[in-house]
Chains A and B, each alone.
Chain A
Amino acid sequence: MRRIISILLLVIIAFGISLSLAKIPFGVPKTKVGRHYINEGVKETGATNIVTSVVVSYRGFDTLGEVTVLFIAAIGLGAVLTTGVKGEMRKVQPASLVLYTGCRLLFPLILVFGTYVFIHGHLTPGGGFQGGAIIASGFLLIYLGCRERRISRVASNLAESLGGLTFVVIGLLGLAFGGYFLLNFLPKGTANALLSAGIIPIIYIAIGFKVGSELAGIIDNLIEES
């Protein structure tokens, strides 16, 4: 009975969505805001990656909200999972020497690649979120390959808090120097250089540290059975 009603509901939704999708043309420019960001983006912000300048500079407040949502999810997961019943620790056999050595060899290379991705976020495709996810994948490799090494809780919490605090402090400095929150108050420099685009590299480095340590902390909370 429930299956028939849900299939009927899906047919009605499909009919409604397809009627309205047929009116949206594919491949035709639709908005004018996009054209304005493309034409004036490099002059106003200094970053050559237009998506980065939209995420950090034109729509920086939405990025602050997203960083807050990720923070709340990580805290909620930690709070829900540490009040459970204490189960017995599973017996894990230690990894073989090849796996152990391979994981330890790959881990610094993955960290360097993730750092490269979020430092060059304003010049090439990439940015804070992608770089942070790559760093979290490096920590996942350590958890899977060498079981007895863990990241220290103090360092992870410190990196996460410093990242979030840097974002908010830079926004408040923009409020103090200019007129509004997240004003770009550092010099813009020449385009396509590494030190350009004002506060955008600093914000992306803070976001990269924060997202990387947050996702690694989520995996740490899920693996530990306590």
Chain B
Amino acid sequence: MIVFVSFLVVLMLVGAVAASVFRDLISAVITAALVSLIASILFYFLQAPDVAMAEASIGAALTAAIFIIAIRRTKRYEE
């Protein structure tokens, strides 16, 4: 149990570091959505089902969608 939670936390931190390193902005946004999804799983383990539902639907899906629509109207690659 504790091994699984530490594995998820390490994956979340590696994803956050990767979101700061990528030069393709769409890859950075998708990695940030992965961080939100793992945070939603950790909310479930902390016995908070309302917050897990809100984070999964708003943070992982809608935030990534509006980011990608905004990137489509500007540049895709960081210069």
Contact = CB atoms under 8 A, between A and B. Distances in A.
Interface of A: 49, 51-52, 117, 125-127, 129-130, 133-134, 136-137, 140, 215, 218-219, 222-223, 225
Chain B at the A interface: mostly helix, strand, loop or mixed? helix
A215 B50 contact: no
Nearest to A126: B53
B58 A133 contact: yes
Given A136-B62, A137-B61, A215-B62, A223 B69 contact: yes
Given A219-B69, A222-B69, A222-B70, A130 B54 contact: yes
A126 B49 CA distance: 8
Chain A at the B interface: mostly helix, strand, loop or mixed? helix
Interface in B29-72: 49-50, 53-54, 57-58, 61-62, 65-66, 69-70
Contacts of A136: 62
Interface of B: 49-50, 53-54, 57-58, 61-62, 65-66, 69-70, 73
Contacts of A222: 66, 69-70, 73
A129 B69 contact: no
Nearest to B51: A51
A222 B49 CA distance: 31
A31 to B, nearest CB: 16
B69 A125 contact: no
Contact of B57 (A125, A134, A225): A134
